[in-house]
Structures are given as structure tokens and as C-alpha cells.
Amino acid sequence: MSTAFWITSLVVVLVPGTGVVFTISTGVTGGFKKSLWAALGCTLGIVPHILASLLGLAAVLNSCAVAFSVLKYLGVAYLLFLAWHMWNEKSGTNFVTSPKQVNGLSTLRKAILMNLLNPKLTIFFLAFLPQFVSENKADATTQMAILSLCFIGVTLVVFIAYGFLANTLRELFLRSPKLMRILNKSFAGILAFFGIQLAVSER
């Protein structure tokens, strides 16, 4: 496996996106264990997109404007819902956590849905993975499967690292409810921005 693949994958995962924002916000306001659920959910959320690219469904999605638009606007609506929920959080605590949510399953579910409802990820993997398939090897599908597993591994490790780093700032924010509210509204604005960006994006 080429060094270029590892470097490119690392750069792609490190670039702040909705998954990074979600994991960091969970780590800061919900603790490291919560951020692990977020990291796992964000990682699992890309698996269907990778499978779709391997099975050729990405090409169908790319050619079918209606299917792409439906999935896209579901993703937009979900991102805006998360942003609205966070913006209106009055307690200054994590928008994922509530008295009725004592485990990480809610965080896991939200993280999975957030990436699952982004059709651009499917198109991304369709364009990204084949670039690193060796031309002199017959079984391209096997190669892409191996590359996919490696990319999933990189994603999980990086997101766990983001959650760990965010958790180190947790005490600072928890000591200041006002600062926590500012943080929540900032993350809400970022998620809303990503939602709007997805809404106006082309395939």
C-alpha cells in the first residue's frame, strides 16, 4: 500500500467536517467516553458509502438526480436539526446528553445518521479509492476493499484522538457555563454552515 494513500487519507480525515465538529463537541461537553461513541458512530456512518462505491451504487446515485437530491436534503435537514438543538440548549451542557440519555447509544445513532445522510461521501469514495488501485493487479475489488478497511481504521483513530484532545479542555468549559453556552452556539453555527453548504452543493 502506497505512502501516498496513507498521507492522503490522513489529510482527508484531519480536515474539519461535520464528523470532526460532532466528535469535538461531544468530547468537550460530554467527556471522553461520549466522544468514543461519537467517533465510532462517525466511522460507521461512512461504511455504507464505502460499500456503495465498491458495489457501483455510487455511479447510480451520481447519475440519478432525484435520488441524490432526496438523500442530500435529508442530510441537510438532519444537520440543521442538530444545529437547532444545540443552539437552544439552555443548560450549557452537551446537546447530545440529557437526563433520559444515560448511555452513548443516542450519540452513536446521531453520529451514524449524520454521515449516512451525506450523499457526497459516496461520490467521494467512488472518486478517491480507485486512484490507489494498482493497474497491474487483476482483482481491483479486493484492493479497494483493503483500502476501504484501512481508511476506516484511519478515520476511527483520528476521531478518537480528536475526542481525547477535546476532553482535555472539558474542565475549562465546565467551570464556565457562559463559555459552554458560547461553545454550543459556535458548534451550532458550524453545523448549520455545513448544512447550508451541503444544500447548495452540486454533485
Tens-digit pLDDT profile for residues 62-108? 666 676 677 677 777 777 877 777 677 654 444 434 434 446 888 89
Question: Highest mean pLDDT: which of 42-51, 84-93, 119-128?
Answer: 42-51
Within 13 Å and on the Cβ side, how many CA atoms surround 89? 28
Q: What is the largest CA-CA distance in the chain?
A: 59
Please name the residues in contact with 36: beta carbons below 8 A apart, sequence gap of 6 or more: 104, 160, 163
How would residue 136 be classed by pLDDT, with cut points 50, 70 and 90?
low
Instruction: Return the pLDDT at 174.
Output: 66
What is the mean pLDDT of the segment spanning 54-62?
65
Tens-digit pLDDT profile for residues 14-27? 877 888 888 988 88
Contact in structure between 28 and 22 (CB atoms under 8 Å): no
Q: What is the pTM of this model?
A: 0.72
Residue 155 scores a pLDDT above 90: yes
